[in-house]
Amino acid sequence: IAEIIAIPGLINVDFADVRTVMENKGTALMGIGIASGEDRAIEAARKAIHSKLLEVSIDGATDAIVNITSGTNITLFETEQALSEIRNSTDRDLNIIYGTTVNQDLDDELIVTVIATGYELKAKDSTIENLASEIFNKTSDEQLKLTRSGLKNQDYEEQDDDVFDKPQEGKKRSIPSWLAKKGKF
């Protein structure tokens, strides 16, 4: 990521772009693809989105940073080909921020780097729903058990009065009016 931000390019990705894609988006997964020859942009994009570094399909992502690096012979058409290949691999609108960098050491090679985020948003939502459902069901079951037992032996009036500490001699305590009305203090 530091390299994507630090190295100037034809189209720069800056820290604000990285923040937009990565902030509060959960897990970030990265894929890199390298190709050369005819259709190198499409091939490099395919390798990047099917990279072994990506533990899951890019299809689950909501946002991505794409950086395309090549020699001086890179074209905007190739950039568009790579981005189209990445967009077409998802079934939703993927928010893509991209950059293009020239590396004169690369002759015919083209490198596509994809950093995809937003995977956990759906997982978190379903986890929260499952947890809420579990708590609701557990609470309902416990309430049902309490209702059946009737709480017959646990009336408030029968509780031990020593539950609360008595005030020490000589110290004044402020007693809330609602508690003082009950006459317990």
Nearest to 68 by CA among 97, 27, 37: 97
Query: How confident is the model over 125-148, as a mean pLDDT?
Result: 53
Residue 138 has a pLDDT of 55
Please give the backbone phi and psi of residue 66, each rounded to the nearest 5 degrees, phi first.
-125, 125
Residue 93 has a pLDDT of 80
Query: How confident is the model over 39-58, as a mean pLDDT?
Result: 85
CA–CA gap between residue 83 and residue 58 (Å, rounded): 13
Spell out the residues 6+ positions from residue 126 whose beta carbon is closer than 8 angstroms to its own. Answer: none
The answer to whether residue 130 scores a pLDDT higher than 80 is no
The answer to whether residue 99 scores a pLDDT higher than 80 is yes
Per domain, the residue ranges of the chain are: 2-118, 120-150
Percent pLDDT > 90 in the chain is 21
Fold of 2-118: 60s Ribosomal Protein L30; Chain: A; (3.30.1330)
Q: What is the residue-averaged pLDDT of the chain? A: 74
- In the chain the first and final C-alpha atoms are separated, in Å, by 65
Spell out the residues 6+ positions from residue 171 whose beta carbon is closer than 8 angstroms to its own. Answer: none
Of residues 170 and 101, which shows the higher confidence score? 101
Query: How confident is the model over 74-88, as a mean pLDDT?
Result: 92
Percent pLDDT > 70 in the chain is 62
Nearest to 107 by CA among 34, 181, 163, 48: 34
Q: How confident is the model at residue 129 (pLDDT cuts 50, 70, 90)?
A: low
The answer to whether residue 87 scores a pLDDT higher than 70 is yes
- For the stretch 13-43, what's the b/e string if a residue is b when 16 or more beta carbons lie within 10 angstroms of its beta carbon? beeebbeebbeebeebbebbbbbeeeebbbb
Residue 131 has a pLDDT of 52
